[in-house]
Structure 1
């Protein structure tokens, strides 16, 4: 979406995709997301917010496969496991998908100015009384 406080140039759109087979494969989800984004993106607009929502989630191992699905799921799982192991050993983002960018640092940063502390869910954010 663009700036909602600029009514003359406000633009908002969304798309939905239903995967034929439930997936937790990052490359597959990136491909779906990029395809949907191409359908709604308008060049020249100054976007302020974007997001992805995953719904109809199911437990791993309870996937109803599609008879015509040609994706090698075990190979995809092996790839993601290998990436996780490398990143655990070499540091976060040592290996990453090109879709998130190739620069060593982000040229943008989300605004968290009004984020509430997570006292009830993060031990590191508990208040300290001295």
Structure 2
């Protein structure tokens, strides 16, 4: 009788998507920039945590298809000159892509980023003209320091300014269920 083999290690991901619906319709490009920047920051952190790099970046936005207003949904992509998991080059590329897809006059419901062509961190192909090993090392140390600080003191303790401070676009969470299994503060207490 054929059986499936037990796998102890999951296969590495081939793509990574970070997106969220907005808490209210977003019409301003500055708020879209904050949202896309926040998604890139989160995706890059996840890439580094899984020791992977990405070669292609996709940015997408869309309006609420259930509303009677005119609709708009699009995405655009870029393949980077070298695979990376560092936030800064991904942010730069994502914000350039957002400028290409943004259309004034629409109320956007959702924005996000997708990273594809993921590969293990150590298998990067160098280009013929590539130099700056020192710059890459400095950037790597910066990303490691940011990740350590955020792991110790909480998510987004240290982040890029373009991700915003007040994040008015974020999803509403007033009616969110408690996280009993993942947050100490949400574990119910027992009275005697």
Question: Please, what TM-score do these two structures have when normalized by structure 1?
Answer: 0.75
Name whichever structure is richer in strand by fraction: 2
Number of aligned residue pairs = 120
1:27 and 2:84 aligned: no
Runs ≥4 residues deviating over 6 A? none
Residue deviations 1:40-67 (CA, integer Å, cap 9, x gap): 1112311001111111100010000122
Which of the residues 142, 145, 152 maps onto 1:82? 145
Instruction: Between 36-45 and 85-94, report the one with greater CA deviation.
Output: 85-94
CA distance in 2, matches of 1:59, 1:36: 25
1:22–1:63 contact (8 Å) kept in structure 2: yes
Alignment root-mean-square deviation, CA: 3.0
Which of the residues 31, 55, 58 maps onto 2:116? 55
1:36 and 2:97 aligned: yes
CA shift for structure 1 position 12: 0.9
User: How do 1:5-24 and structure 2 match up within 5 A?
Assistant: 5-6=66-67, 8-24=69-85
Residue deviations 1:90-127 (CA, integer Å, cap 9, x gap): 433221111211x2x43233368xxxxxxxxxx927xx
Change (3 A) 1:89 1:5: closer
User: How do 1:89-108 and structure 2 match up within 5 A?
Assistant: 89-101=152-164, 103=165, 105-108=166-169
Q: Which protein has greater RCO, CA pairs closer than 8 Å, 6+ apart? A: 2
**Structure 1: runs of 5 or more not aligned:** 113-122, 126-130
Query: 1:124 aligns to what?
Result: 181
1:21–1:69 contact (8 Å) kept in structure 2: no
CA distance in 1, matches of 2:144, 2:115: 21
**Structure 2: runs of 5 or more not aligned:** 1-61, 174-179, 183-192
CA distance in 1, matches of 2:74, 2:122: 34
1:2–1:45 contact (8 Å) kept in structure 2: yes
CA distance in 1, matches of 2:130, 2:172: 40
